[in-house]
Amino acid sequence: MSDGLAATMESPIIVESNLKQESGGVSLWEDAFRRLLKNKMAVAGGIFILLEIILAIITPWIVPYGFEEQNLENWVLAPSAEHWMGTDALGRDLFTRVLYGGRISLLVGFLASFVSVIVGVVYGAVSGFLGGRVDNIMMRIVDVLYALPFVFLVIILMVFFGRNIFLLFIALGLTQWLTMARIVRGQVISLKEKEFVQAAHSVGVRRWHIIKRHLIPNSLGPVIVFMTLTVPSVILEEAFLSFLGLGVQAPMASWGTLISNGVEVMEIRPTVLLFPAMALAATLFSLNFLGDGLRDALDPKGAKD
């Protein structure tokens, strides 16, 4: 008991002595945030994402049409004053559908990525840090989960739980956390041999504490980069899940389904593909600038000043 207490008291000192750039009194996070604000691209990316989220929230009140409102005669019209992005194959307003699609895709993208990051980071860090037999068992479980036929998994989950929106996040998170766990584990295995971790170890800092205070923060860089990659792949994977009946049901659409519908009429009316793809691309650009900025900000050694 007293040992543990001593450890918790000592650990910040070790952190500070290691991360030399840490200026006295200001916490790691505040410092990082300050640095983030200096990165113009990152700030722009952040603002754009924020705007998108606000737009997604207020969508139902600002759209000119209903997302399901059809006019079958208006087959894939070109953009016009009436329909800013043109219409789709059922004569529905594409602008409206892209906005509504954003609600779904942003929600799915961020939530599912969040789930996969949390699970993957904790699992990978624990596995990599404990090493040895535990690592071996934990990683073999990951191998087994990789091998499970995903299509069946989804179909069976649906048999038991129905078309639950939470099931969507679970199914998407399930596929993504595995690679995340492996990346974090690789990072941790390499980190734990480093001097400051060894030092913390030798003075008897508790394992969980080392994971929490040293290993996870120091492997955040690749985690953030991979997370910015996870968001789009989750958004696109959602389109595949809707093939199996999970995910959003027609006539509601997501960016993923809008893009795959756009591919079909690519040659007839490229704008049907272009607009949802641009929406996704813009999100990704902002996300990447924000992610890179965050990564740089969180890495104290990378600071230029």
Partner 1 sequence: MSLRKLFSMGAVFLFLFSVSCTKKSSNQTQVLDKANGTELQDLDPHIVSGVPEHHVISELFEGLVTMDPKTAEPIPGQAESWTVSKDGKVYTFKLREGLKWTNGDPVVAGDFVYAFRRLVDPKTAAKYAYHGGYIKNGDAITKGKIKDLSALGVRAIDDRTLEVTLETPTPFFVPLTYHYSLYPVHQKTIEKFGNKWTLPENIVSNGPFKLRSWQLNKVLIADKNPTYWDAANVKLETVNFYPIENTDTEEKMFRAGKLHVGYEIPLPKIPHWLEKKDQIYHSPYLGVYYYHINTTKKALKDKRVRQALSLAIDREQITKNITRAGQMPATAFTPPGTGGFQPSVYLNPKVTPEDLAKAKKLLAEAGYPNGKGFPKFDILYNTQESHKKIAEAIQEMWKKNLGINVGLYNQEWKSYLANRQTLNYEVARAGWIGDYNDPLTFLEMYVTGGGNNDTGFSNKQYDDLVAKAKLEMDAKKRGEIFNQIEAILMDELPVVPIYIYTRTYLIRPEVAGWYPNIMDFHPLKFVSIK
Partner 2 sequence: MGLGYLVKRLLTMIPVFLAVVTLVFFTIRFAPGGPFDGERKLPPEIKANLDKKYNLDLPLWKQYLLYMRDLSRFDLGPSYKHSNRSVNDIIGEAFPVSLELGLWSLFWALLIGVTAGGLAAFRPNSLFDYIPMSISILGICLPTFVIGPLSILVFGLWLGWLPVAGWDTPADRILPSMTLGFAYAAYISRLTRGGLMEIRTQDFIRTARAKGLKESTIILKHSLRGGMLPVVSFLGPALAGLLSGALVTETIFNIPGLGRFFIQSALNRDYTVVMGTALLYFTLIFVSNFLVDIFYVILDPRVRYE
- Which stretches of the chain bind partner 1, using CB under 8 A? 68, 70, 72-73, 75-76, 89-91, 151, 155, 158-159, 163, 242-245, 249-251, 261, 263-265, 267-268
Q: Is 12 in the site for partner 2 (CB under 8 A)?
A: no
* Least distance in angstroms from the C-beta of 155 to partner 1: 6
Minimum CB distance to partner 2 smaller for 50 or for 281: 281
Site residues (CB under 8 A) for partner 2, limited to 281-300 = 281, 284-285, 288, 292, 295-296, 299
Minimum CB distance to partner 2 smaller for 8 or for 190: 190
The C-alpha atoms of residue 178 and residue 183 are separated, in whole angstroms, by 9
**272 phi/psi in degrees, rounded to 5:** -65, -30
Q: Return the ∠ at Cα 143 (arms to 152 and 182), rounded to 5°.
A: 120
The C-alpha atoms of residue 176 and residue 183 are separated, in whole angstroms, by 11
Token duo for residue 32: 């990082």
Q: Is 266 in the site for partner 2 (CB under 8 A)?
A: yes
Q: Is 199 in the site for partner 2 (CB under 8 A)?
A: no
- Three-class SS state of 87: strand
Centre a 10 Å sphere on the Cβ of residue 100 and count the other Cβ atoms it contains: 24
Which partner in partner 1, partner 2, none is near 144 (CB below 5 to 8 A by kind)? partner 2
Token duo for residue 57: 């929230």
Q: Is 171 in the site for partner 2 (CB under 8 A)?
A: no
The C-alpha atoms of residue 12 and residue 10 are separated, in whole angstroms, by 6
Chosen residue from 118, 148, 165, 203 binding partner 2 by CB under 8 A: 148
Minimum CB distance to partner 1 smaller for 158 or for 170: 158
Q: Is 273 in the site for partner 2 (CB under 8 A)?
A: yes
Secondary-structure breakdown of the chain: helix, strand, coil percentages, each rounded to the nearest 5: 75, 0, 25
Distances (CA, A) of 200 to 24, 191, 193, 215: 20, 12, 11, 11
- Give how many residues touch partner 2 by CB under 8 A: 56
Residues 85/79, Cβ–Cβ less than 8 Å: yes
* Least distance in angstroms from the C-beta of 76 to partner 1: 8
* Least distance in angstroms from the C-beta of 277 to partner 1: 17
**87 phi/psi in degrees, rounded to 5:** -130, 165
Which partner in partner 1, partner 2, none is near 163 (CB below 5 to 8 A by kind)? partner 1
* Least distance in angstroms from the C-beta of 256 to partner 2: 9
* Least distance in angstroms from the C-beta of 266 to partner 2: 7
Residues 79/271, Cβ–Cβ less than 8 Å: yes
Q: Is 37 in the site for partner 2 (CB under 8 A)?
A: no
The C-alpha atoms of residue 67 and residue 89 are separated, in whole angstroms, by 13
Nearest to 216 by CA among 191, 239, 240, 233: 191
Using the 8-state DSSP alphabet, how is residue 163 labeled?
Answer: S
* Least distance in angstroms from the C-beta of 237 to partner 2: 9
Q: Is 301 in the site for partner 2 (CB under 8 A)?
A: yes
Centre a 10 Å sphere on the Cβ of residue 85 and count the other Cβ atoms it contains: 23
Binding stretches for partner 2 (CB under 8 A): 131-132, 136, 139-140, 143-144, 146-149, 151-153, 155-156, 159, 178-179, 182-183, 185-187, 189-190, 193-194, 221-222, 224-226, 228-229, 232-233, 236, 259-260, 263, 266-267, 273, 277, 280-281, 284-285, 288, 292, 295-296, 299, 301-302
